[in-house]
Chains A and B, each alone.
Chain A
Amino acid sequence: MTWIGALSQLIQLAVAVLLAPLLLGWVNQCRAWLQNKRAPSLAQPYRMIRKLFLKEPVIAHNASPIFRLTPYIVFGAMALAAAIVPSLATDLPFATAADAIALVGIFALARIFIALAAMDIGTAFGSLGARREMLIGFLAEPALLMVFFTASLISQSTSLVTIVETLAHREFVIYPSLAFAGIAFTMVSLAENARVPVDNPATHLELTMIHEAMILEYSGRHLALIEWASSLKLFNYSCLGLALFFPWGIVEGAHDVVGLLWAIPVLVGKLALGGFLLALIETMSAKLRIFRAPEFLGTAFLLGVLGMLVHQLLGA
């Protein structure tokens, strides 16, 4: 590992952590425009996080240390994931330490802890949220793995670096298997980030909420970290999607600092477009009943499997 490698790694991590709330603000703004509403400022998520950090957290009498530790673990896991996902450059020092499967494992770590924390207080809503989150998770996680498997069958590697480099060098080849994987990935991302049609981030309506039900008991800095981690998760998934399906503009090798600085505006541009599309999907679809969510995710899972099958059949 060279110091330039470490520097690029740090730049990527810092960009991810700092830009993540901005992406969320942008999606909210687009959504408000599309729905003929007045949009909040782009900086609104930052203001909210700052406000929450300054407030005093109140936790229940019977909260265990797991409850207090979870926001940090979830945020840490998402930051780690941001270091692994090749969003700006491919050959970062961290990339060899964890591959696509490990990335799914790190997401699972965050999910398990947040579900455990939701059950920790012992309220009706908390365990309801935990149950629903695990319900979404047990279908979304294998579907995500299927997407990675399709990509890794093409590139003969589960390392995200090799996957992205392989896909970036074959611009003019169209992979039918990747089309299936792309749709599956979009559906999984919607579910995992608690977006419409699976969950609604803007509601506290008890019958429908999933993610919000789990974090009801959090306040102050804990809530700030969880909110920040959620926006970081959205950022990670967006970067993953871009890296897998639109890998152009990502710097190859970690020794090109100028290239790295150029990659930032490219990424921002791609994210802006992606965020707009996300807002479009959210505006044009209605929230599903909770028991339609497994069908939705089951479809994503099947599409992922189909992607692998198509790859085996056509060899592409």
Chain B
Amino acid sequence: MEFLAEQPWMGLFTNLPANLSLGLVVAAVSAWLAIGAVGASFPENLTLVRRLFPIGALVGLGLAIVGITAIHGPTQATVLPLGLPDLPFHLRLDALSAFFLVLLGAATAGISVFAAGYFRAGQGTAPGLLCLQYHVFLASMAMVLLADDAYLFMVSWETMALSSFFLVTTEHRIGEIRRAGFLYLLIAHVGAIAILLCFGVLQGGTGDYSFDGMRTAKLQGFWPTAGFFLALFGFGAKAGMLPLHVWLPEAHPAAPSPVSALMSGVMLKTAIYGLLRVSFDLLQVEVWWWGVAALGLGLFTALYGVIFATVQTDMKRLLAYSSIENIGLILAGFGLALVFRAFQMPQLAALALAATLYHCLNHAMFKSLLFLATGSVLHATRERSLGKLGGLIHRMPWVAWLALIGTLAIAGVPPLNGFVSEWLLLQAFLFTSELPQGFINMLIPIAAASLALTAALAGYTIVKFYGVIFLGQAREPALAQAHDAGVRERIGLVWLALWCVLLGLFPVVVLDLLDPVNEMLVGRGLGATTRDWLFLAPIDANRASFSPLITLAGIAVTVLGTIFLVHRLYHHRLRRGPPWDCGFPLQTPRMQDSAEGFGQPIRQIFEVFFRITRTLPTPFDKAPRYAVKVEDQLWYGLYLPMTKAVEFFTWLVGFLQQGRISVYLAYSFFTLLALLLFVR
């Protein structure tokens, strides 16, 4: 026993009371791996896999609960006997990682239950293998959050990228999906190289790759900036920051819906976690213009993402672009927090950071909910294109009503969760006039304006999304056979919708949970300002206060009161008839706005952002055809030239490779000659 106590990793077990949460998180990770292994042992057994997924969901729930208790607890750290000889795996559970573990666990609990009802036997990956990939993906995300040295971090990060790549290419028999997977893998690795280089910079020549070593490393001159921008590039590639966003709209539609939900809701947040970890925790240098750069990039990403989201015609691509938008908002909040911290304004930094973290949590919930809803629609109709859906609220009421909650949440209307984080972010922007730097003060109105514009456009997008899919008349006759989601799918959706409502109604509770993270990263929490549980007043009640519960009560009282009064005072007769539509007799479902039609004003107003190819009919066409294709300018302006350049260089290299033995012998001969010349 004494021998065991000497081993550092046994601290996990001998110091059990002190390291209880960390031990439980490691146990949860192992449980996920075990579930994956069991599933993989019976690759073709779909029934088993369907039983395994809910167990994984329970593990996620447990993880969330452990995370919540660990946020307020002390930092826990341990060393595992795995890894390199002189760099074993360091684990650490502090407030920041605990918060993101809560996000991971809570979102996973819903998504896994949904996935239990979602996966079918099909052409793609065998269900058991899928179960392995899925749970390895979950476990690696948890390990990314726990890692306390660069080595374990990179190993988990790469495991996460690879397992999600395999999940994206579940339907690997379809060429388009393989291409999407490749693009994802490529950009994930370009990002991973940047992260690796970033850690190389951060260790500051000490050769100590543990995060503790990086915290104490003294970086000089240009190096901290290099480290920050490498991190921004690397994690930005994973998060979907411009101009590294191109993989999102390809990979999300390709992946099965629970996987899209997991990637968009949770995986993108691990990138935000990495960014926060590097810039607030590991880098001990504070430079204000880093924040301005992140803020600008974030706002541009948000605007770009939402403008593209409005013109999409594929429901999952639309949500993918909307994820880009939300990541942009999160990055903007992150940048603002950096600016405030650099100017030694910890309370405002805490406000901006709280808004950022809150939005991470909110986005995880409503985006997962909406992705899962598209999954149910996809299963019921086999259709991803918005132009072939419609009227599904009659066929799939459960999915439609739960998706409505997600829709309202993402549109940012009170009293749901999207509004709260938007409100906090706008408040943070409004306080910037206290900054000592006049130049930034001038930028802030423009930043606030683009933030407001983004939020309003998000409303446009989501009305189109919901209205075209669930409302109106069915655009195809086949939709009459659509069926509602199964029980497990409903449970998953209800769980996520519940979070959307609760996170919106009890923001003070959430901010209390966030406070240890704020204290850890910027040295101060919002603390005393959140004493009244009913009113959200982050700085001072005179400056701003908002009470979602009272707002909800107000809406409920006025709406129910109106219903009651109108029915009481007048009558409640009602007759059904054909639609009026200004008396036009001939009505077909094709006369409704299509997805293209609904996005047309945006396409016209923001034409410079798009690369549009139109096929217009002439008046003399027998069978007129109209087609419009909207593509990303950046793809043509940035990515294709880059591929051309790579192709050119490989061609140059290929020129050397003639494939004839005599040529290679000649190379050897000339090399030898040159060497002899040098050493002579």
* In the complex, residue of chain B having the shortest beta-carbon distance to the beta carbon of A121: B579
Q: Are A61 and B577 in contact (CB under 8 A)?
A: yes
**Is A131 close to B, CB under 8 A?**
yes
Q: How far is the CA of A313 from the CA of B566 in the complex (A)?
A: 52
* In the complex, residue of chain B having the shortest beta-carbon distance to the beta carbon of A305: B449
Q: Are A119 and B471 in contact (CB under 8 A)?
A: yes
The interface bits of chain B over 389-426 (1 if a CB of A lies within 8 angstroms of the residue's CB, else 0) are 01101100000000010001001111000010001001
Contacts of B602 in A (CB 8 A): 135
**Is B675 close to A, CB under 8 A?**
no
Q: Are B449 and A301 in contact (CB under 8 A)?
A: yes
> What range describes how many residues of B lie at the interface?
35 or more
CB neighbors of B among A261-316 (8 A): 291, 294, 301, 304-305, 308-309, 312-313
Q: Are B579 and A309 in contact (CB under 8 A)?
A: no
- Nearest Cβ on chain B to A72's Cβ, whole angstroms: 5
- Nearest Cβ on chain B to A229's Cβ, whole angstroms: 10
**Is A48 close to B, CB under 8 A?**
no
**Is A75 close to B, CB under 8 A?**
yes
**Is B674 close to A, CB under 8 A?**
no
Q: How far is the CA of A213 from the CA of B394 in the complex (A)?
A: 23
Q: Are B471 and A120 in contact (CB under 8 A)?
A: yes
**Is A153 close to B, CB under 8 A?**
yes
Q: How far is the CA of A204 from the CA of B441 in the complex (A)?
A: 47
**Is A168 close to B, CB under 8 A?**
no
Contacts of A80 in B (CB 8 A): 551, 554-555, 558
**Is B617 close to A, CB under 8 A?**
no
* Residue of A119, A146, A308, A312 most packed against chain B (CB within 10 A): A119
Q: How far is the CA of A111 from the CA of B413 in the complex (A)?
A: 10
Contacts of A120 in B (CB 8 A): 393, 467, 471-472
The interface bits of chain B over 534-563 (1 if a CB of A lies within 8 angstroms of the residue's CB, else 0) are 010000011111110011001100110111
Q: Are B459 and A112 in contact (CB under 8 A)?
A: yes
Q: Are B456 and A139 in contact (CB under 8 A)?
A: yes
The interface bits of chain A over 216-228 (1 if a CB of B lies within 8 angstroms of the residue's CB, else 0) are 1101110001000
Contacts of B576 in A (CB 8 A): 58-61, 63
- Give the secondary structure class of B's interface: helix
Q: Are A58 and B545 in contact (CB under 8 A)?
A: no
Q: Are A137 and B459 in contact (CB under 8 A)?
A: yes
Contacts of A149 in B (CB 8 A): 430, 445, 448
Q: Are B452 and A108 in contact (CB under 8 A)?
A: no
Q: Are A217 and B463 in contact (CB under 8 A)?
A: no
- Nearest Cβ on chain A to B391's Cβ, whole angstroms: 7
**Is B453 close to A, CB under 8 A?**
yes
Contacts of B427 in A (CB 8 A): 101, 158
Across the interface, B393 reaches (CB within 8 A) one of A66, A94, A220, namely A66
**Is B433 close to A, CB under 8 A?**
yes
- Nearest Cβ on chain B to A128's Cβ, whole angstroms: 7
**Is B129 close to A, CB under 8 A?**
no
Across the interface, B394 reaches (CB within 8 A) one of A64, A123, A126, A153, namely A64
Q: How far is the CA of A170 from the CA of B602 in the complex (A)?
A: 42
Q: Are A109 and B413 in contact (CB under 8 A)?
A: yes
A142 and B449 in contact (CB under 8 A), knowing A127-B467, A159-B542? yes
Contacts of B171 in A (CB 8 A): none
**Is A96 close to B, CB under 8 A?**
yes
A–B Cβ pairs within 8 angstroms, 6 of them: A72-B559, A73-B555, A80-B558, A106-B555, A145-B452, A217-B580
A positions within 8 Å CB-CB of B? 53-54, 56-64, 66, 72-73, 75-77, 79-80, 83, 94, 96-99, 101-102, 105-106, 108-109, 111-112, 115-116, 119-128, 130-132, 134-135, 137-139, 141-142, 145-146, 149, 152-153, 156-159, 162, 204, 206, 216-217, 219-221, 225, 291, 294, 301, 304-305, 308-309, 312-313
